[in-house]
Amino acid sequence: MDKNIITATGRRKTSVAQVKLVQGGEGKVTVNTKTPEVYFGNNPRLRYVITSPFDLAKDQKFDCIAKVNGGGLASQAGAIRHGVARAIASLGDSFHSSMKKAGFLTRDPRMVERKKPGQPKARKRFQFSKR
């Protein structure tokens, strides 16, 4: 069995995921040396987010090893999905077009807005007093 390793980087908010896909695996997913059930806890939506690119590549089996840091659990799951989709898309045009069509290759540009001086938060203002 040919075991090629494909690497890619995925990002979302402040999370960065380094993803390695091993072709010809059994479909095991590892996130920071833990299973997704342990790492993401009792949240099936986040586990679905990271496995959704594999559903589009049905004819291929991969083992996924992801190292992720920064941000919260939701943005880490999004970063892993982005990295997995990029790695699968690098295999060929048919994979690339299906990942692009599903929207997995687009990096989500939304970031937290910075806090402005003279305000308690980014948009919140201190109470106005006329007198």
Residue 47's CATH number: 3.30.230.10
Residue 20 lies in a domain: yes
* pTM for this prediction: 0.90
User: 51 is in which domain, residue-wise?
Assistant: 5-102
* pLDDT 10s digits, 71-89: 999 999 999 999 999 999 9
Res. 33: pLDDT tops 70: yes
Sheet of strand 15-23, all strands in order from the earlier edge strand to the far edge: 5-12, 15-23, 62-69, 29-31
Q: Which residues contact 60 (CB under 8 A, 6 or more apart)?
A: 23, 88, 91
Q: Which residues contact 81 (CB under 8 A, 6 or more apart)?
A: 10, 49, 50, 52, 53, 104
Residue 40 lies in a domain: yes
* pLDDT 10s digits, 7-32: 999 999 999 999 999 998 888 999 99
Question: What does the pLDDT read at residue 2?
Answer: 53
Share of the chain above pLDDT 90, in %: 84
